[in-house]
Amino acid sequence: MTAMGDLSTYSLEDFFPFLPEVYFRLFVRLNEGWWPAHLVALLLGAAALWLAWRGFGRLVGAALAICWTFVGYAFFLELYANLNWAGTYFGWAFIAQSALLLIIGALGGLDRELGRAPDRTQNRPLDPAGWVGVGLVVFALAIFPLLEPLTGVQDWKGAELFGIAPDPTVIATLGFVLMARRPRWLLLIVPVLWCAISGATAWVMEAPVGLVTPACALIALGAAVRKTFASDEHGL
């Protein structure tokens, strides 16, 4: 009873014990410390989108695993953990997600529905959920990094890029999962949980643009549910 009573005295702000400017400064430090890895990450993201389109799910899983491992180490374990004790757990969760991406990708869980041609030239057209996935990937790669600088929330030096920062990496991953033949729900657990945490952080920081991340998660979940039921109806 005492523990519950103590817990009831906490507010959401108590779980994010740092000022907004300190949090946003992390991304500036991340970008300054790892430049020009950003160029490699963006090329890797673009290559992964092409590979997903062509049906090479195993390579997509490997590319995403590299990005998730990097974010888990460079952002969470090296930087965020110094502000918030939970950062260490977030970091290891991202690294665990990279292992899942490697395993499920290697088993063909990220492959698209393919035609009979061995050279993969007869991929079937993407279904509506798959197109949602393409949109999420493009958004994460090309549009998300512009949102905070253009709205004045963050300086351009702190722009959040795919493969470097968590939010665009997570959003793109949601998109790649939707592009697969069937959505692998195990791959959605950590991304969706992080989207909820990111949304809570944005709420505390009074940065409405940060609510884009949980909105993307809701869109992805809706598309995944629809795709799952459609696959079951067609016996895929």
Tell me the backbone φ, ψ of residue 221, rounded to 5 degrees: -65, -45
Please tell me the predicted confidence (pLDDT) of residue 181: 84
CA distance 236 to 216: 26
**Cβ burial 76-86 (10 Å sphere, 16+ → b, else e):** bbbbbbebbee
Highest mean pLDDT among 11-15, 84-88, 211-215: 211-215
Phi-psi group of 217: left, alpha or beta (phi > 0 → left; psi -120 to 50 → alpha; rest → beta): alpha
Q: Evaluate if pTM is beyond 0.75.
A: yes
pLDDT digits (tens, 9 = 90+) for 91-117: 999 999 999 999 998 888 888 754 333
- Of 209, 208, 142, 221, nearest to 174 (Cα)? 221
Domain coordinates in residue numbering, the chain? 38-114+125-234
Tell me the backbone φ, ψ of residue 162, rounded to 5 degrees: -55, 140
CA distance 141 to 134: 11
Please tell me the predicted confidence (pLDDT) of residue 16: 60
pLDDT digits (tens, 9 = 90+) for 118-151: 444 555 678 899 999 999 999 999 999 999 888 8
